[in-house]
Amino acid sequence: MTGPADADTPPLARTSLDRAAHRRTDPQWLARAWERARLLVVDIGGGGRALVRTTADRPELLLLDASELPADTTGRLFLGVEPDGTPYFAVDAPLPVVPQTRAVSLRDVGHLLSDSDAGLFTTAVALGNWHTRHAYSSTTGLPTTVTDAGWTRVDEDGNHVWPRTDPAMIVLVHDGKPGPDGRCLLGNNAAWRPHQGVRRYSCLAGYVEPGESAEAAVHREVAEEVGVGLDHLEYAGSQAWPFPGSLMLGFLARADPAQPVRIDPDEIAHARWFTRREITDVLAGRPVDADEGHRVGLPPASSIALYLVHRWLDES
């Protein structure tokens, strides 16, 4: 693919970048690469935002040359090399003022970007968020500094820390029936408040616990959050969700809708089964009643949750 996300791949799983990990410990190569690199400025402290221009109705990341940044710019994060040989770096800094651009987050535009831009932005945000959380060693408590072009931190005793990603599962539970009356089970997280009359419903999700497989986590989380047992599980794909540092492992699961839905109110405020007809209406902008006078909303387009919803719709 070269354009915006489609139904075949989760939106933030797309990239054309070669991470070229063997270059991270080669300071001479990195110095030469910096002089000819394309640079993505990301303001991690400002919500992980970057600048885009809109060309042909599609946002494109604003990439700079090294000469356009101050000579003493620090915090250079080597992202990798594109197929044409161009090296790419990210810099965590306040966004420059550039005419005819706008500041956006990865959530806003991840699904609209090209494969190249999606991979660059996702990696930059994930790596930048990791650095902000690891200024000190969790082992020694000592301050850490950046090495290996942004892919390692080390304290003064030589203890190394490497980027980590937290595995999480997300699942679209459905009844296995084809056609417009087939149903899926979605929940409204207890932390999500209605906005402008819309209550957002999404797939069920949770972190994989220590000593647990992703599949076991799916069964456990669904049972805990809505009290429903599953009789079939299918892996559907994964994508980074760097808010601040998760890897979402996506599944489709089948369950009998005759089972009572028993929500955990600490996790889920509302949960219910929706028909394909209802989900299609929501996606088309037609109002569907949720509860208490609210309309149904669905997950953002950059999320793997909406990808799973589309996968289920397409299997009708």
CATH code of the domain containing 37: 3.90.79
C-alpha 168/C-alpha 135 separation (Å) is: 24
pLDDT band of residue 4 (cuts 50, 70, 90) is low
| Distance in angstroms (rounded) separating the CA atoms of residues 310 and 204 | 15
| Domain range for 39 | 11-133
pLDDT tens string 165-200? 999 999 999 999 999 999 999 999 999 999 999 999
- CATH code of the domain in which 177 resides: 3.90.79.10
pLDDT given at position 2:
40
251 in a structural domain: yes
Same domain, 208 and 304: yes
If asked whether residues 81 and 191 sit together in one domain, one would say no
pLDDT in tens, 196-232: 999 999 999 999 999 999 999 999 999 999 999 999 9
Residues 6+ apart with CB under 8 A from 314: 7
Question: CA–CA distance from 312 to each of 172, 177, 216, 232 (Å)?
Answer: 8, 10, 21, 14
Residue 145 lies in a domain: no
Number of folded domains in the chain?
2
Angle, helix 276-283 to helix 304-314, in steps of 10 degrees = 130
* Residues 120 and 183 reside in one and the same domain: no
299 and 238 within one domain: yes
- Is residue 139, in this structure, part of any structural domain at all? no
Asked, for residue 148, whether it belongs to a domain, the answer is no
pLDDT level of residue 8 (50, 70, 90 thresholds): confident
Q: Is residue 223 assigned to a domain?
A: yes
pLDDT at 208: 98
For residue 7, the model assigns a pLDDT of: 61
Segment 130-150, tens digit of pLDDT: 999 999 998 899 999 999 999
Nearest CA to 147 among 86, 74, 209? 74
Residue 88: CB atoms within 10 A of its CB come to: 24
Residues 6+ apart with CB under 8 A from 116: 2, 15, 16, 17, 82
How far apart (Å, rounded) are the C-alpha atoms in residues 199 and 312?
21
Judge if 173 and 109 occupy the same domain: no
Distance CA(103)–CA(116), nearest Å, equals 18
Residue type, 105: S
Is the residue at 120 inside a domain? yes
What is the arithmetic mean of pLDDT over 3-7?
Answer: 54
3-state secondary structure of 178: coil
Give 237-295 pLDDT, tens digit per residue. 999 999 999 999 999 999 999 999 999 999 999 999 999 999 999 999 999 998 778 99
If asked whether residues 196 and 264 sit together in one domain, one would say: yes
Q: What confidence score (pLDDT) does residue 115 get?
A: 95
In a domain, 155, yes or no: no
